[in-house]
Amino acid sequence: MEAQMRWVAIYKKELRSYFASPLAYIIAFVFIAIVGVWWFFWDFQRFVIISMQAAQNPYYAEALNVNEIVIRNLFGNLALVMLFGLPLLTMRLFAEEKKTGTYELLFTLPLRDWETLLGKFLACWTVFLLMLVLTAVYPITMALLTNPEPMPILVGYLGIMLLGGAFISFGIFISSLTENQIIAAFGTYGLLLVLLAMGWSSSFVGPSLAEVLKDLNIFNHLQSFLKGVVDTRDVVFYLLFSYFFLFLTLRSLESRRWRG
């Protein structure tokens, strides 16, 4: 119980830090504005046009699937915006502590490294989940106006939640390596782009290596979720990815103790 309360204290502290800063609100506003005002309503307009054409031509009626035209694109666009937005949420978690000098204070508190890390990770993930809750207005709007299948929507959100956890764990690790928040943000963003590029480069290598690169591409594992299918291989990949980089972050924190 005492250990639980220790990480909860870190969790609450980090949440207060997020909501005391305008950065979280700015990221949330941009997140919602780009995904909803721009992409969602553009796809919705396209769906309306196809619906009008379907009323005149049965050929278009066969392609009239709101999940394919609107909802699937919504989650794909969410993933793209997350690539830019989440590094801004994770950049401060350890880099700011180092910059302000409070990083050393963490080691004087009766806290284990994993308790500190768990509190910070869950706080950042909570902020991200709150941003996702705000996006629920878009599928709800679709449900009021059309008849989308609910399961692909729920599965899509599951995939986005797992992808967000993977992004955050990776960003925390990069933040633990530097005291410069800008370096932490761009380092996370740049390396995530490298993981994305692995899938693109798979067509230029041999079949065996191509399969490895596709498996390492963090975005490829989202595709089954976008189709409304929960593939346990993709779930395990995201969980192992998050665990691996949280483990590396712990090693980074421990090395700080050794160096004194």
pLDDT of the residue at 255 = 76
Residue of 65 and 238 predicted with greater confidence:
238
C-beta neighbour count of 58 within 10 angstroms: 8
pLDDT of the residue at 87 = 92
pLDDT of the residue at 77 = 81
3-state secondary structure at position 109:
coil
pLDDT of the residue at 1 = 47
Which residues constitute the domain of residue 220? 2-259
pLDDT in tens, 5-42: 678 888 988 899 888 888 888 888 887 777 766 667 76
pLDDT in tens, 37-79: 666 776 666 666 666 666 666 655 555 666 676 777 778 888 8
Contact in structure between 87 and 188 (CB atoms under 8 Å): yes
Task: Please state, in angstroms and as integers, the Cα–Cα distance from residue 13 to each residue in 161, 181, 185, following that order.
Answer: 23, 19, 21
3-state secondary structure at position 63:
coil
In this prediction the pTM is 0.86
Please provide residue 146's backbone torsions phi and psi, each rounded to the nearest 5 degrees. -135, -160
Query: How far is the C-alpha of 10 from the C-alpha of 22, rounded, in Å?
Result: 20
Q: Which residues contact 241 (CB under 8 A, 6 or more apart)?
A: 166, 169, 170, 218
Identify the residue whose tokens are 């989650």: 75
Domains in the chain: how many in total?
1
pLDDT in tens, 154-184: 999 999 999 999 999 999 999 999 888 999 9
Question: Residue 208: what residue type?
Answer: S
